[in-house]
């Protein structure tokens, strides 16, 4: 019987973290270091990846790096193999690398859909299909954290590619977690579902892999493209501070929380969204907008009245 209620212990364990060059990934690497983990750090951006590695080493930790484009299955396989060769085990897998952009379904070229689908969804499949058998064989308490988003729990307007890929990643994690429980594997899982945090996410276009790069792509000169870049900058740079993310998420892993939510005020939107489904009522654009205004501390009296009368 390999199933266990043991708490996940970080010290001396091995973490594999994708998207470790910036934002959440960098904070997870710092927290893993503070908690005495050894780690393999992966990112498509070598310069940023080396910066994170330097921080860990300067702070007395152990970090190896591998430049990896998580949208390419062979590269994810090489990342997992390199971790095993270096450390001989994987105790914590963090599927964090991801991208975000807006644009309506009739505006975004299929190339953009394919890129975001591979970055936010296929990447999780490529790693989990290799890492779960390794963890199962180890038999000791292991953990998989998939970074999805609040956008993986509810849907709003203007970012259909982001919402749909993040829903995919959340339900993939839920489905895999059922299997892991059913088979009695000693693996716990979580989804991290934050609202906006100030990271480098609004610059994700700089991480476009060559296979999704079209020479002189007319989309990259179009009005929807620039409009969405501007909006992304607005929402990400007014997001909550990044510093608390590492300790907050690792504490939640320690407690074994499946749904990790950094922004408790957004629960009102999740509740409303679930009620829509149960009551078979239509998604309410006005409610969502008012709830976001509350989350951003800029709700008007009209927003509050609307929320209270439509709960």
Q: Which residues bind ligand NAD (CB under 6 A)?
A: 18-19, 21-25, 43-45, 48, 68-71, 96-100, 119, 147, 149, 194, 196-197, 199-201, 204, 207, 209, 236, 239
For 58-161, strand residue ranges (E) read 62-67, 92-95, 142-147
Is 162 labeled as catalytic in the residue annotation?
A: yes
Closer to ligand NAD by CB, 119 or 307: give it: 119
Q: What CA–CA distance (Å, rounded) separates 234 from 246? A: 23
Give least dist CB 91 to ligand NAD, A: 21
Q: Are 17 and 43 in contact (CB under 8 A)?
A: no
Show the CA angle centred on residue 224, arms to residues 218 and 226, nearest 5°.
Answer: 85
Element (H, E) at 112: helix 110-117
CB 172 within 8 A of CB 124: yes
Identify which of residues 185 and 249 has a Cβ nearer to ligand NAD in the complex.
249
Identify which of residues 9 and 212 has a Cβ nearer to ligand NAD in the complex: 212
Structure tokens at 160: 């259909």
Nearer to ligand NAD, 9 or 220 (CB): 220
Instruction: Identify the active-site residue in 126, 162, 177, 196.
Output: 162
To ligand NAD, the closest distance from the beta carbon of 266 in angstroms equals 11
Least distance from C-beta 117 to ligand NAD, angstroms? Answer: 12
H or E, element range at 131 = helix 123-138
- CA 157, 172, 123, 252 torsion-angle sign: positive
Q: How far is the CB of 292 from ligand NAD (least distance, A)?
A: 13
Q: How far apart are CA 271 and CA 154, in angstroms?
A: 10
Active site residues: 162
């Amino acid at each position: 019987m390999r199933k266990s209620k043991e708490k996940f212990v970080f010290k001396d364990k091995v973490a594999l973290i994708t998207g470790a060059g910036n934002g959440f990934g960098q904070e997870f690497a710092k927290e893993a270091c503070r908690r005495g983990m050894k780690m393999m750090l992966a990112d498509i951006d070598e310069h940023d990846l080396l910066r994170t590695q330097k921080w860990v080493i300067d702070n007395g930790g152990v970090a190896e790096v591998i430049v990896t484009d998580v949208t390419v299955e062979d590269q994810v396989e090489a990342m997992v193999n390199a971790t095993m060769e270096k450390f001989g085990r994987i105790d914590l897998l963090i599927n964090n690398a991801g991208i975000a952009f807006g644009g309506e379904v009739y505006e975004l070229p299929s190339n953009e859909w394919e890129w975001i689908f591979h970055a936010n969804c296929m990447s999780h499949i490529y790693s989990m299909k290799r890492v779960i058998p390794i963890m199962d064989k180890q038999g000791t308490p292991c953990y998989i954290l998939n970074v999805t988003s609040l956008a993986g729990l509810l849907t709003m307007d203007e970012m259909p590619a982001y919402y749909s890929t993040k829903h995919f990643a959340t339900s993939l994690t839920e489905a895999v977690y059922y299997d892991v429980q059913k088979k009695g594997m000693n693996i716990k899982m979580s989804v991290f579902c934050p609202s906006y945090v100030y990271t480098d996410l609004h610059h994700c276009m700089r991480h476009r892999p060559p296979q999704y790069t079209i020479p002189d792509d007319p989309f990259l000169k179009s009005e929807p493209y620039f409009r969405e870049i501007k909006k992304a900058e607005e929402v990400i740079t007014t997001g909550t501070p990044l510093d608390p993310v590492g300790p907050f998420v690792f504490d939640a892993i320690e407690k074994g929380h499946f749904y990790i939510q950094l922004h408790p005020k957004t629960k009102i939107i999740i509740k409303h969204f679930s009620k829509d489904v149960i009551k078979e009522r239509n998604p309410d654009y006005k409610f969502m907008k008012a709830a976001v205004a509350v989350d951003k501390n800029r709700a008007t009296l009209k927003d509050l009245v609307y929320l209270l009368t439509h709960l």
